[in-house]
Amino acid sequence: MSSRWSRGRLSVTAGPSQRRPSIVDGQRSERPKRTTDPFASWLPPRPDGDPLRLLLAPMDGVTEHVHRALISELNPVDTTLDRRLSAVDVCVSEFVRVTDHVVPVAVLWRHCPELRAGGMTRSGVPVFVQLLGSAPVELAATARRAVELGARGIDLNFGCPAKTVNRHDGGATLLRAPSRVERITAAVRAAVPPELPVTVKIRVGWDSSDPVESLAAAAEQGGAAWLTIHGRTRAQGYRPPVDWPAIGRAAAAVQIPVVANGDLHTPQDVAQCRYLTGCAAFMVGRGIMAAPNWFRWVRGLDSGPPDLPGLCSVWRRYAAQLRDSGASGRSALCRLKQWLRMAAAQRTDVVALFDRVKREMDVDAVLNVVAALECRRRSSQLTISASASPGAPAG
């Protein structure tokens, strides 16, 4: 396994005179501790008492409803507290594109089937519907329709870096005009019942992080309940480095909570990000593809990500649930290979597996390789365990 996957609870080590706070230490030492939960107006308190707020990011073509349900189920907390309690606080749907008309009900149901179940995953995690567009009237009307169908909140996407989206005046192109971010946010806020949150997701800027404070202020002035910031510019795409200090500047400029996003692969990453930003809420995207138990790991409930056989088990379960949901074989194949590809980009132990299956055109062929690898690795582990036991016969 790649060296980046160090195990352990969320903490940061430093010299005695430079000690950085761990996740349980609260805010940065130079900032006063919050005495109340900044999300209390919008989210119920966690029954386990954990002050962290952890959200699953929307990733177009990746985090569809089956994936959201599976990740919620793979991250339970103490079942003696609540059988349905998940370590995930909020899931956000893949974006729904809004152009010059109100999005039909059927499209909203397709993007967010959880609307038929009270706007929650099977594990009881609330799902926000994310809207992407630049027309305030149509966005507001679509948001109203989504909450009428059961959405637990509305998230506005001002961060998508895709060229096709940006050419059509959507996503990150709005970062060049903070006044438009404010105007759209205000229109949607006015259309949604006051007890439901309207949230905003941005990047730190278009080609520079200089305007991040102005963008944060625009979201706040528009009435956003909280602001999620991906720590890269649109020009960067997903190239390094991530700019966590810019997120910290934005957080210091506004009173609403800020959720930090970008390169949060391990608990140590979250601790470092918290130190640099002062944030107490974090959204994970690509990191979940290498550590599906990321939420439990960050909360200190697991000591590390699953091993490769554990990941294989997750992938087989995912494929089965995709099929149960009515996905075609081709759709299941594409989504499974997408997960493998994103995991291989982060974990060296997945690279050979992905190289072997990436040209396969049949989902069952991929699953056969995955299942065989899982069995072989588990058998090898059992053999090693047996040979190491005190009463094992000599080889």
| Residues classed as catalytic | 160
- Strand 198-205 to 281-284 pairing: unpaired
119 backbone φψ class: left, alpha, beta (φ>0; ψ -120 to 50): left
> CB-based contacts of 382: which residues, under 8 Å, 6+ apart?
none
| DSSP string across 142-196 | HHHHHHHHT-S-EEEEE----HHHHHTT-GGGGGG-HHHHHHHHHHHHHHS-TTS
Cis status of the peptide bond prior to 309, with omega within 30 of 0:
no
> CA-CA distance, 395 to 381, in Å (whole number)?
16
CB contact at 8 A, 272 and 10:
no
The helix/strand/coil state of 230 is strand
Phi, psi (rounded to 5 degrees) for 66 = -65, -40
> CB-based contacts of 114: which residues, under 8 Å, 6+ apart?
65, 68, 93, 120, 121, 127, 150
- Please report, for residues 141, 266, 304, 389, the alpha-carbon distance to residue 385 in angstroms, rounded to integers and kept in the order given: 60, 28, 20, 6
> CA-CA distance, 246 to 395, in Å (whole number)?
59
> CA-CA distance, 86 to 122, in Å (whole number)?
10
- Please report, for residues 178, 203, 287, 301, the alpha-carbon distance to residue 267 in angstroms, rounded to integers and kept in the order given: 33, 22, 11, 11
> CA-CA distance, 384 to 89, in Å (whole number)?
39
DSSP 227: E
